[in-house]
Chain A
Amino acid sequence: MSETVSDEDAPLRQRIADNPRPAIRWILGALVLVAVEFGAFLGLVFRLLSTIGGLFPDNPGVALFSRLEESSEVIPTLLSRSLIPNDGFYNGQQWVDTFLGLEPAYAWLLRVLLIYAYAFIWLGWLWVGYRTFRQHYRYADWTPRDDVVDRLRSHRWGQFGFVLVLIFLVMALFAPALGPTTAEANLRQPYSHYTEFYDEETDEVRNVTVGTANLGSASEGNPDSNVGPWSYDDFGRFHPFGTLTTGKDMFTFLAAGARISLMIGIVSMVGAGLIATGFALLTAYYKGLADLAVVIASDSIQALPVLLVLILASATFSGTWLAELYNGAVMLIAIFVLIQWPFLWRAVRGPAFQIAEEEWIDAAKSFGQKPRTIMRKHMLPYVIGYLLIYTSLTLGGIIIAVAGLSYLGLGITPPTPEWGRAISSGQPYVATASWHISLIPGILITLIVIGFNALGDGIRDAIDPQSGSGSGTAQESKADEAAAGGGGA
Chain B
Amino acid sequence: MSETVQRDEESVVDDALVEVTNLKTYYGEGGLLSDNPVKAVDDVSFGIRRGETLGLVGESGCGKTTLGRTLVQLERATAGSVSFDGTDVTELSGDDLKNWRRNAQMVFQDPESSLNDRMTVGEIVREPLDVHDWNSSRERRQRVRELLETVGLREEHYYRYPHQFSGGQRQRVGIARALALEPEFVVLDEPVSALDVSVQAKILNLLEDLQDEFGLTYLFIAHDLSVVRHICDRVAVMYLGNVMEVGDGEELFDDPANPYTHSLLSAIPTPDPTSQRDRITLRGTPPSPRDPPTGCPFSTRCPAKIRPEAHADIDDDLWERIEVLREILRERNRADRSLTERARELLGMDTRFSDIDEILQEVFQTPAGTDAGTGTEGTTESGDPLAGVPSTVSEPIERAAEHVRSGEEGRAREVLREEFGSECDTEMPAHHEVSESDRTSLCHRHKFEHDEPSAFFERTVFDG
Do the two shown chains form a genuine complex with each other?
A: yes
Which of A88-96, A259-267, A324-332, A364-372 has 4 or more CB atoms under 8 Å from chain B? Answer: A364-372
With a CB–CB cut-off of 8 A, which chain A residues contact B327? Answer: none
Q: Is B74 positioned at the interface, with any CB of A under 8 Å from its CB?
A: yes
Which of A102-110, A122-130, A354-362 has 4 or more CB atoms under 8 Å from chain B? Answer: A354-362
Least CB distance from B174 to A in Å reads: 8
A485 to B152, CA, bound (A): 11
Contact B113 A484 (CB under 8 A): no
Which residue of A is nearest B73, CB measured?
A366
A8 to B168, CA, bound (A): 33
With a CB–CB cut-off of 8 A, which chain B residues contact A366? Answer: 72-74, 101, 105-106
Which residue of B is nearest A382, CB measured?
B118
Contact B119 A144 (CB under 8 A): yes
Q: Is A47 positioned at the interface, with any CB of B under 8 Å from its CB?
A: no
Q: Return the contact of B164 from the options A9, A144, A360, A477 (Cβ within 8 A).
A: A477
**Given A8-B138, A359-B110, A366-B101, A485 and B116 touching (CB < 8 A)?**
no
A463 to B73, CA, bound (A): 32
Q: Is A15 positioned at the interface, with any CB of B under 8 Å from its CB?
A: no
With a CB–CB cut-off of 8 A, which chain B residues contact A377? Answer: 116, 119, 127
**Given A366-B72, A366-B106, A465-B118, A488 and B152 touching (CB < 8 A)?**
yes
Q: Return the contact of A489 from the options B72, B106, B119, B166 (Cβ within 8 A).
A: B166
With a CB–CB cut-off of 8 A, which chain B residues contact A382? Answer: 118
A104 to B77, CA, bound (A): 80
A477 to B162, CA, bound (A): 12
Contact with B along A68-83 (1 / 0, CB 8 A): 0000000000000000
Q: Is A480 positioned at the interface, with any CB of B under 8 Å from its CB?
A: yes
Q: Return the contact of A144 from the options B123, B172, B174 (Cβ within 8 A).
A: B123
Contact A367 B118 (CB under 8 A): no
Which of B3-11, B153-161, B396-404 has 4 or more CB atoms under 8 Å from chain A? Answer: B153-161
A463 to B138, CA, bound (A): 26
Most buried by B among A368, A370, A378, A466: A368
Contact with B along A458-489 (1 / 0, CB 8 A): 00000111100000000001101100110111
Most buried by B among A366, A465, A485: A366
Contact A480 B164 (CB under 8 A): yes
A142 to B99, CA, bound (A): 32
With a CB–CB cut-off of 8 A, which chain B residues contact A487? Answer: 154
A330 to B76, CA, bound (A): 47
Contact B108 A367 (CB under 8 A): no
Q: Is B202 positioned at the interface, with any CB of A under 8 Å from its CB?
A: yes
A144 to B122, CA, bound (A): 10
A478 to B101, CA, bound (A): 36
**Given A362-B108, A363-B108, A488-B168, A466 and B117 touching (CB < 8 A)?**
yes
Which residue of A is nearest B199, CB measured?
A489
Interface set, chain B 86-138, CB cutoff 8 A to A: 97-99, 101-102, 105-106, 108-110, 113-120, 123, 127-128, 131-132, 137-138
Most buried by A among B72, B159, B172: B159
With a CB–CB cut-off of 8 A, which chain B residues contact A223? Answer: none
A144 to B98, CA, bound (A): 28
Contact A466 B132 (CB under 8 A): no
Contact A9 B154 (CB under 8 A): no
Contact B131 A484 (CB under 8 A): no
Contact B97 A477 (CB under 8 A): no
Least CB distance from B184 to A in Å reads: 14
Which residue of B is nearest A361, CB measured?
B116
Least CB distance from A457 to B in Å reads: 17
With a CB–CB cut-off of 8 A, which chain B residues contact A463? Answer: 118
A364 to B74, CA, bound (A): 10
Q: Return the contact of B106 from the options A363, A369, A465 (Cβ within 8 A).
A: A363
With a CB–CB cut-off of 8 A, which chain A residues contact B109? Answer: 359
Q: Is A381 positioned at the interface, with any CB of B under 8 Å from its CB?
A: yes
Which residue of B is nearest A483, CB measured?
B154
Contact B154 A368 (CB under 8 A): no
Interface set, chain A 359-400, CB cutoff 8 A to B: 359-360, 362-370, 373, 377-378, 381-382
Q: Is A5 positioned at the interface, with any CB of B under 8 Å from its CB?
A: yes
Q: Return the contact of B159 from the options A142, A381, A466 (Cβ within 8 A).
A: A142
Least CB distance from A260 to B in Å reads: 37
Contact A466 B163 (CB under 8 A): yes
| A interface residues (Cβ-Cβ under 8 A, vs B) | 5, 8-9, 142, 144, 358-360, 362-370, 373, 377-378, 381-382, 463-466, 477-478, 480-481, 484-485, 487-489
14 A-B residue pairs with CB within 8 Å: A5-B138, A8-B137, A9-B138, A144-B119, A359-B113, A359-B114, A366-B101, A367-B180, A466-B117, A480-B160, A481-B164, A484-B169, A485-B169, A488-B153
Give 3 nearest A-B pairs by CB, closest first.
A489-B168, A368-B98, A367-B128
17 additional contacts, CB 8 Å, given A142-B159, A359-B110? A5-B138, A144-B119, A359-B114, A362-B106, A363-B174, A366-B73, A367-B131, A367-B181, A368-B98, A368-B131, A382-B118, A465-B163, A466-B117, A466-B161, A485-B165, A489-B172, A489-B203
